[in-house]
Structure 1
Amino acid sequence: MRAREQQLRQVGALPLLVNQDGGVEVYVVTARGSGRWIIPKGNLIPGLAPHEAAAQEALEEAGLVGMAEPHCIGTFEFSRRRRGRETHCLVDVYPLTVKLQLRKWAEASQRSVLRCTLETALSLVDSSSLAFLIEQHLSPHLQSEHPRQARQPSFTSLHAC
Protein backbone atom coordinates (compact mmCIF):
# COMPACT_ATOMS: atom_id res chain seq x y z
CA MET A 1 0.00 0.00 0.00
CA ARG A 2 1.37 3.42 -0.93
CA ALA A 3 1.95 6.18 1.64
CA ARG A 4 -1.13 8.22 0.62
CA GLU A 5 -3.36 5.14 0.39
CA GLN A 6 -5.72 4.12 3.20
CA GLN A 7 -7.50 0.82 3.73
CA LEU A 8 -11.19 0.48 4.61
CA ARG A 9 -13.22 -2.62 5.51
CA GLN A 10 -16.88 -2.56 4.45
CA VAL A 11 -19.86 -4.91 4.24
CA GLY A 12 -22.10 -5.49 1.25
CA ALA A 13 -25.40 -7.22 0.60
CA LEU A 14 -25.97 -9.46 -2.42
CA PRO A 15 -29.75 -8.97 -2.74
CA LEU A 16 -31.43 -12.04 -4.24
CA LEU A 17 -35.03 -12.77 -5.16
CA VAL A 18 -36.39 -16.16 -6.17
CA ASN A 19 -38.97 -15.36 -8.85
CA GLN A 20 -42.22 -17.22 -9.60
CA ASP A 21 -40.44 -19.52 -12.06
CA GLY A 22 -37.88 -20.53 -9.43
CA GLY A 23 -35.13 -18.48 -11.08
CA VAL A 24 -32.86 -16.18 -9.13
CA GLU A 25 -32.82 -12.44 -9.77
CA VAL A 26 -30.29 -9.96 -8.42
CA TYR A 27 -30.71 -6.32 -7.37
CA VAL A 28 -27.92 -3.90 -8.27
CA VAL A 29 -27.63 -0.19 -7.48
CA THR A 30 -25.63 2.69 -8.88
CA ALA A 31 -22.81 4.24 -6.89
CA ARG A 32 -23.60 7.84 -5.97
CA GLY A 33 -20.45 9.44 -7.31
CA SER A 34 -19.67 7.45 -10.43
CA GLY A 35 -23.01 5.92 -11.40
CA ARG A 36 -21.31 2.50 -11.76
CA TRP A 37 -23.43 -0.57 -11.03
CA ILE A 38 -22.57 -2.21 -7.70
CA ILE A 39 -24.29 -3.97 -4.80
CA PRO A 40 -25.47 -2.11 -1.69
CA LYS A 41 -22.47 -1.67 0.58
CA GLY A 42 -21.13 0.53 3.32
CA ASN A 43 -19.25 0.77 6.56
CA LEU A 44 -19.76 -1.47 9.56
CA ILE A 45 -22.40 -0.07 11.92
CA PRO A 46 -21.61 -0.07 15.66
CA GLY A 47 -23.97 -2.39 17.53
CA LEU A 48 -24.88 -4.46 14.45
CA ALA A 49 -23.38 -7.74 13.30
CA PRO A 50 -21.75 -7.49 9.85
CA HIS A 51 -24.66 -9.25 8.08
CA GLU A 52 -27.14 -6.94 9.84
CA ALA A 53 -25.15 -3.90 8.69
CA ALA A 54 -25.22 -5.28 5.13
CA ALA A 55 -29.02 -5.62 5.36
CA GLN A 56 -29.23 -2.02 6.61
CA GLU A 57 -27.21 -0.83 3.60
CA ALA A 58 -29.63 -2.65 1.26
CA LEU A 59 -32.53 -0.90 2.98
CA GLU A 60 -30.93 2.57 2.80
CA GLU A 61 -29.52 2.30 -0.73
CA ALA A 62 -32.20 0.26 -2.51
CA GLY A 63 -35.26 0.13 -0.24
CA LEU A 64 -34.86 -3.63 0.10
CA VAL A 65 -36.28 -5.45 3.10
CA GLY A 66 -35.09 -8.98 3.67
CA MET A 67 -33.07 -11.45 5.68
CA ALA A 68 -29.28 -11.41 5.41
CA GLU A 69 -27.48 -14.68 5.97
CA PRO A 70 -24.87 -14.52 8.75
CA HIS A 71 -22.14 -16.21 6.70
CA CYS A 72 -19.98 -14.17 4.36
CA ILE A 73 -19.71 -15.61 0.84
CA GLY A 74 -16.47 -13.82 0.05
CA THR A 75 -14.67 -10.53 -0.24
CA PHE A 76 -14.13 -8.24 -3.20
CA GLU A 77 -11.92 -5.22 -3.37
CA PHE A 78 -11.73 -1.94 -5.19
CA SER A 79 -9.95 1.38 -4.93
CA ARG A 80 -11.49 4.82 -4.89
CA ARG A 81 -10.06 8.30 -4.90
CA ARG A 82 -11.57 11.08 -2.81
CA ARG A 83 -10.01 14.44 -2.04
CA GLY A 84 -6.69 13.35 -3.49
CA ARG A 85 -6.47 10.22 -1.33
CA GLU A 86 -6.56 6.69 -2.63
CA THR A 87 -8.58 4.30 -0.46
CA HIS A 88 -8.30 0.55 -0.85
CA CYS A 89 -11.64 -1.02 0.15
CA LEU A 90 -12.28 -4.64 1.12
CA VAL A 91 -15.98 -5.56 1.07
CA ASP A 92 -17.27 -8.68 2.84
CA VAL A 93 -20.44 -9.83 1.06
CA TYR A 94 -23.53 -11.39 2.67
CA PRO A 95 -26.45 -12.88 0.71
CA LEU A 96 -29.76 -11.11 1.37
CA THR A 97 -33.06 -12.84 0.58
CA VAL A 98 -35.33 -9.99 -0.51
CA LYS A 99 -38.89 -10.00 0.82
CA LEU A 100 -40.02 -6.65 -0.59
CA GLN A 101 -38.88 -3.32 -1.97
CA LEU A 102 -40.25 -0.17 -0.37
CA ARG A 103 -41.81 2.55 -2.51
CA LYS A 104 -39.73 5.22 -0.70
CA TRP A 105 -36.34 4.89 0.99
CA ALA A 106 -33.46 7.03 2.22
CA GLU A 107 -31.33 7.21 -0.95
CA ALA A 108 -34.03 6.77 -3.62
CA SER A 109 -33.25 10.12 -5.23
CA GLN A 110 -29.49 9.45 -5.27
CA ARG A 111 -29.33 6.00 -6.89
CA SER A 112 -30.89 3.83 -9.54
CA VAL A 113 -31.94 0.31 -8.59
CA LEU A 114 -32.36 -2.55 -11.04
CA ARG A 115 -33.84 -6.01 -10.48
CA CYS A 116 -32.34 -8.23 -13.16
CA THR A 117 -31.24 -11.68 -14.18
CA LEU A 118 -27.94 -13.03 -12.97
CA GLU A 119 -26.51 -12.73 -16.48
CA THR A 120 -27.51 -9.06 -16.69
CA ALA A 121 -26.06 -8.32 -13.26
CA LEU A 122 -22.77 -9.92 -14.28
CA SER A 123 -22.61 -7.77 -17.40
CA LEU A 124 -23.49 -4.56 -15.52
CA VAL A 125 -21.27 -4.61 -12.43
CA ASP A 126 -18.14 -2.62 -13.05
CA SER A 127 -15.87 -4.51 -10.67
CA SER A 128 -14.43 -7.73 -12.08
CA SER A 129 -13.79 -9.00 -8.55
CA LEU A 130 -17.45 -8.43 -7.62
CA ALA A 131 -18.64 -10.11 -10.83
CA PHE A 132 -16.39 -13.09 -10.09
CA LEU A 133 -17.74 -13.40 -6.55
CA ILE A 134 -21.38 -13.22 -7.74
CA GLU A 135 -20.74 -15.71 -10.52
CA GLN A 136 -19.03 -18.18 -8.21
CA HIS A 137 -21.78 -17.95 -5.58
CA LEU A 138 -24.66 -18.23 -8.05
CA SER A 139 -23.15 -20.36 -10.83
CA PRO A 140 -25.77 -23.15 -10.46
CA HIS A 141 -28.41 -20.56 -11.39
CA LEU A 142 -26.80 -19.36 -14.63
CA GLN A 143 -29.25 -19.78 -17.52
CA SER A 144 -26.72 -19.55 -20.33
CA GLU A 145 -26.17 -22.66 -22.44
CA HIS A 146 -22.69 -21.50 -23.36
CA PRO A 147 -19.96 -21.63 -20.73
CA ARG A 148 -18.73 -18.18 -19.73
CA GLN A 149 -15.09 -17.32 -19.93
CA ALA A 150 -13.86 -17.65 -16.36
CA ARG A 151 -13.14 -14.44 -14.51
CA GLN A 152 -10.42 -15.08 -12.00
CA PRO A 153 -9.03 -11.90 -10.55
CA SER A 154 -6.30 -12.81 -8.10
CA PHE A 155 -7.54 -10.28 -5.56
CA THR A 156 -10.93 -11.87 -4.85
CA SER A 157 -11.42 -14.12 -1.88
CA LEU A 158 -14.17 -16.73 -1.70
CA HIS A 159 -13.22 -17.96 1.76
CA ALA A 160 -15.14 -17.17 4.92
CA CYS A 161 -14.58 -13.56 5.87
Structure 2
Amino acid sequence: MKKGRRVQLAALPFRLVDGQLQILLITSRETRRWVIPKGWPERRVPPHVQAAREAHEEAGLIGRIATEPVGQYRYLKRLDDGSLRPCQVDVFLFDVTEELDDWPERHEREKRWMTPQEAAQAVVEGSLSELILAIARIHAGSAPPAGDEPQPPLVVATVH
Protein backbone atom coordinates (compact mmCIF):
# COMPACT_ATOMS: atom_id res chain seq x y z
CA MET A 1 0.00 0.00 0.00
CA LYS A 2 1.39 3.41 -0.92
CA LYS A 3 2.03 5.89 1.85
CA GLY A 4 -0.90 8.25 2.25
CA ARG A 5 -3.44 5.89 0.68
CA ARG A 6 -5.68 3.92 3.00
CA VAL A 7 -7.93 0.96 2.22
CA GLN A 8 -11.18 0.14 3.98
CA LEU A 9 -13.50 -2.84 3.59
CA ALA A 10 -17.25 -2.46 3.16
CA ALA A 11 -20.36 -4.58 2.94
CA LEU A 12 -23.11 -3.56 0.54
CA PRO A 13 -26.20 -5.02 2.25
CA PHE A 14 -29.05 -6.09 0.00
CA ARG A 15 -32.23 -8.14 0.08
CA LEU A 16 -35.01 -9.05 -2.30
CA VAL A 17 -38.59 -8.21 -1.35
CA ASP A 18 -41.19 -9.54 -3.80
CA GLY A 19 -38.41 -9.79 -6.37
CA GLN A 20 -37.38 -6.15 -5.91
CA LEU A 21 -33.81 -5.31 -4.89
CA GLN A 22 -33.38 -3.21 -1.73
CA ILE A 23 -30.17 -1.69 -0.37
CA LEU A 24 -29.56 -0.93 3.30
CA LEU A 25 -27.76 2.28 4.19
CA ILE A 26 -26.66 3.49 7.61
CA THR A 27 -25.71 6.93 8.86
CA SER A 28 -22.13 7.77 9.69
CA ARG A 29 -21.58 8.48 13.36
CA GLU A 30 -20.21 12.01 13.04
CA THR A 31 -21.63 13.65 9.92
CA ARG A 32 -24.85 11.57 9.74
CA ARG A 33 -24.34 11.03 6.00
CA TRP A 34 -25.82 7.90 4.41
CA VAL A 35 -23.08 5.30 3.93
CA ILE A 36 -22.58 1.53 3.79
CA PRO A 37 -21.00 -0.38 6.69
CA LYS A 38 -17.21 -0.18 6.41
CA GLY A 39 -14.07 -0.29 8.47
CA TRP A 40 -10.35 -0.91 8.56
CA PRO A 41 -8.76 -4.28 7.76
CA GLU A 42 -7.63 -6.36 10.72
CA ARG A 43 -4.55 -8.55 10.80
CA ARG A 44 -5.20 -12.21 9.95
CA VAL A 45 -8.89 -11.57 9.13
CA PRO A 46 -9.88 -12.21 5.49
CA PRO A 47 -11.22 -9.01 3.86
CA HIS A 48 -14.71 -10.40 3.20
CA VAL A 49 -15.03 -11.61 6.80
CA GLN A 50 -14.00 -8.17 8.08
CA ALA A 51 -16.61 -6.53 5.83
CA ALA A 52 -19.26 -8.89 7.27
CA ARG A 53 -18.14 -7.95 10.80
CA GLU A 54 -18.65 -4.29 9.97
CA ALA A 55 -22.20 -5.04 8.76
CA HIS A 56 -22.88 -6.78 12.07
CA GLU A 57 -21.30 -4.10 14.30
CA GLU A 58 -22.68 -1.07 12.49
CA ALA A 59 -26.09 -2.34 11.32
CA GLY A 60 -26.91 -5.56 13.17
CA LEU A 61 -26.89 -7.67 10.02
CA ILE A 62 -26.23 -11.36 9.46
CA GLY A 63 -26.01 -12.92 6.03
CA ARG A 64 -23.90 -14.27 3.21
CA ILE A 65 -21.00 -12.21 1.87
CA ALA A 66 -19.14 -12.41 -1.43
CA THR A 67 -15.57 -13.66 -1.11
CA GLU A 68 -14.31 -11.12 -3.66
CA PRO A 69 -15.13 -7.39 -3.98
CA VAL A 70 -17.84 -6.46 -6.45
CA GLY A 71 -16.19 -3.05 -6.90
CA GLN A 72 -14.59 -0.16 -5.11
CA TYR A 73 -14.98 3.55 -4.56
CA ARG A 74 -12.81 6.36 -3.25
CA TYR A 75 -13.48 9.18 -0.82
CA LEU A 76 -11.67 11.60 1.46
CA LYS A 77 -11.52 10.23 5.01
CA ARG A 78 -11.37 12.80 7.82
CA LEU A 79 -8.82 11.55 10.33
CA ASP A 80 -8.83 12.19 14.07
CA ASP A 81 -6.41 15.11 13.63
CA GLY A 82 -8.82 16.77 11.18
CA SER A 83 -6.72 16.08 8.09
CA LEU A 84 -8.21 14.50 4.96
CA ARG A 85 -6.69 11.37 3.49
CA PRO A 86 -7.64 9.64 0.23
CA CYS A 87 -9.24 6.30 1.00
CA GLN A 88 -10.14 3.38 -1.25
CA VAL A 89 -13.06 1.18 -0.18
CA ASP A 90 -13.31 -2.40 -1.43
CA VAL A 91 -17.00 -3.35 -1.53
CA PHE A 92 -18.37 -6.85 -0.93
CA LEU A 93 -21.98 -7.82 -1.71
CA PHE A 94 -23.77 -8.86 1.48
CA ASP A 95 -27.02 -10.86 1.17
CA VAL A 96 -28.88 -10.08 4.39
CA THR A 97 -30.63 -13.08 5.95
CA GLU A 98 -31.31 -11.66 9.42
CA GLU A 99 -31.54 -8.28 11.17
CA LEU A 100 -30.77 -8.26 14.88
CA ASP A 101 -32.70 -6.18 17.41
CA ASP A 102 -29.52 -5.54 19.40
CA TRP A 103 -26.05 -4.80 17.97
CA PRO A 104 -22.94 -2.87 19.07
CA GLU A 105 -23.61 0.49 17.36
CA ARG A 106 -27.43 0.57 17.39
CA HIS A 107 -27.58 3.77 19.47
CA GLU A 108 -25.05 5.55 17.23
CA ARG A 109 -26.58 5.10 13.79
CA GLU A 110 -29.81 5.03 11.83
CA LYS A 111 -30.42 2.41 9.16
CA ARG A 112 -32.89 2.34 6.32
CA TRP A 113 -33.82 0.01 3.46
CA MET A 114 -34.07 1.84 0.13
CA THR A 115 -34.54 1.14 -3.53
CA PRO A 116 -31.24 1.21 -5.43
CA GLN A 117 -32.26 4.55 -6.96
CA GLU A 118 -33.01 6.06 -3.52
CA ALA A 119 -29.73 4.70 -2.13
CA ALA A 120 -27.75 6.05 -5.09
CA GLN A 121 -29.24 9.51 -4.50
CA ALA A 122 -28.71 9.35 -0.73
CA VAL A 123 -24.95 8.63 -0.77
CA VAL A 124 -22.51 11.48 -1.34
CA GLU A 125 -19.73 9.50 -3.02
CA GLY A 126 -20.41 9.48 -6.78
CA SER A 127 -18.51 6.26 -7.43
CA LEU A 128 -20.51 4.45 -4.71
CA SER A 129 -23.71 5.76 -6.28
CA GLU A 130 -22.57 4.40 -9.67
CA LEU A 131 -21.71 1.03 -8.12
CA ILE A 132 -25.18 0.75 -6.52
CA LEU A 133 -26.88 1.56 -9.82
CA ALA A 134 -24.66 -0.91 -11.71
CA ILE A 135 -25.63 -3.69 -9.29
CA ALA A 136 -29.29 -2.76 -9.76
CA ARG A 137 -28.92 -3.00 -13.56
CA ILE A 138 -27.25 -6.41 -13.24
CA HIS A 139 -30.05 -7.60 -10.96
CA ALA A 140 -32.65 -6.34 -13.42
CA GLY A 141 -30.88 -8.17 -16.24
CA SER A 142 -30.31 -5.02 -18.27
CA ALA A 143 -26.52 -5.16 -18.11
CA PRO A 144 -24.06 -8.07 -17.96
CA PRO A 145 -21.43 -8.16 -15.21
CA ALA A 146 -18.24 -6.30 -16.09
CA GLY A 147 -16.20 -8.40 -18.52
CA ASP A 148 -18.87 -11.15 -18.47
CA GLU A 149 -17.03 -12.62 -15.47
CA PRO A 150 -18.92 -14.76 -12.99
CA GLN A 151 -20.16 -12.98 -9.89
CA PRO A 152 -18.10 -13.54 -6.74
CA PRO A 153 -19.33 -16.49 -4.69
CA LEU A 154 -21.26 -15.80 -1.51
CA VAL A 155 -20.31 -17.52 1.72
CA VAL A 156 -21.85 -17.56 5.16
CA ALA A 157 -19.75 -15.24 7.28
CA THR A 158 -19.29 -16.01 10.93
CA VAL A 159 -19.39 -12.89 13.09
CA HIS A 160 -18.12 -12.90 16.66
What residue is the counterpart of 1:70 in the other structure?
67
1:36-64 deviations in whole A, cap 9, x for unaligned?
00100001122221111110000000001
Matched, 1:104 2:102: yes
User: Greater CA deviation, 24-33 or 80-89?
Assistant: 80-89
What residue is the counterpart of 1:7 in the other structure?
5
Does the Cα contact within 8 Å between 1:23 and 1:141 map onto a contact in 2? no
What residue is the counterpart of 1:128 in the other structure?
126
Name the amino acid aligned to 2:28: A
Percent identity between the two aligned chains: 33
How many residue pairs match? The answer is 140
Aligned counterpart in structure 2 of residue 24 of structure 1, from 13, 21, 26: 21
Q: TM-score, normalised by structure 1?
A: 0.81
1:56-76 deviations in whole A, cap 9, x for unaligned?
000000001011011211110
Does the Cα contact within 8 Å between 1:6 and 1:86 map onto a contact in 2? no
| Corresponding residue SS for 1:106 | coil
| Corresponding residue SS for 1:29 | strand
Name the amino acid aligned to 1:58: A
Distance 2:64 2:23 in 1: 14
What residue is the counterpart of 1:155 in the other structure?
none
Name the amino acid aligned to 1:38: V
1:5-33 deviations in whole A, cap 9, x for unaligned?
932111100001111x1111110011111
Q: CA deviation at 1:141?
A: 4.2
**1:10-159 residue pairs with structure 2 within 5 A?**
10-19=8-17, 21-82=18-79, 83-141=81-139
- The runs of at least 4 aligned residues of structure 1 exceeding 4 Å deviation read none
**What root-mean-square deviation, in Å, do the aligned CA atoms of Structure 1 and Structure 2 show?**
1.9
Q: TM-score, normalised by structure 2?
A: 0.81
Does the Cα contact within 8 Å between 1:74 and 1:93 map onto a contact in 2? yes
Distance 1:70 1:80 in 2: 25
Q: CA deviation at 1:134?
A: 1.2
User: Greater CA deviation, 27-36 or 40-49?
Assistant: 40-49
1:75-129 deviations in whole A, cap 9, x for unaligned?
1000023313221110000000000110010001111100111111111111111
